[in-house]
Amino acid sequence: GAVVSQHPSRVICKSGTSVKIECRSLDFQATTMFWYRQFPKQSLMLMATSNEGSKATYEQGVEKDKFLINHASLTLSTLTVTSAHPEDSSFYICSAIRTSGGEYEQYFGPGTRLTVT
């Protein structure tokens, strides 16, 4: 089946630095990917929609200048957390849409655990 990968699986960074998280669709092309954030014991919160070749669409309350999204190819979207702070520590999950024979399926990545110290 379709697979979505994320890299790294976990990262620890110091406050004030930037961190890049990659989301790749391994065996299909995805014009649309999504980025979610999940805090402990909470549900997934949609952050933004990443569209290949165009600017990302951010959900209300998500700072676009802090969470930079680049969808440069049909198999790769990146999320960069700029000037990270401890409150940005969270589990970041991406998903990708695969179209096949007129049907659409959404696959989730395994997530990236970000810890900001």
| Binds another protein by CB under 8 A, chosen from 8, 55, 64, 105 | 105
Span 51-90, contacts to another protein by CB under 8 A: none
Q: Does 28 bind another protein (CB under 8 A)?
A: no
Q: Which residues contact 107 (CB under 8 A, 6 or more apart)?
A: 1, 2, 3, 4, 25, 95, 96, 98
Q: How far is the CB of 85 from another protein (least distance, A)?
A: 22
Query: Of 27 and 105, which CB lies nearer to another protein in the complex structure?
Result: 105
Considering the complex, state which of residue 8 and residue 16 has its C-beta at the smaller distance from another protein: 8
Lookup: tokens for 80 = 């960069």
Q: Please, which residue, 5 or 82, has the CB nearer to another protein? A: 5
- State how far the alpha carbon of 44 is from the alpha carbons of 54, 90, 93, in Å: 24, 11, 8
Quick one: 3 or 18, whose CB is closer to another protein?
3
- Residue 44 as a binder of another protein (CB under 8 A): the answer is yes
Q: What share of the chain is helix, strand, coil (3-state, %, to 5)?
A: 5, 55, 40
If you ran DSSP here, which 8-state letter would residue 88 be given? G
- Listed in sequence order, the residues at least 6 apart from 8 whose beta carbon sits closer than 8 Å to its beta carbon are 21, 112
Would you tell me which residues interact with another protein (CB under 8 A)? 4, 6, 34, 36, 43-46, 49, 91, 93, 95, 97, 103-111, 113
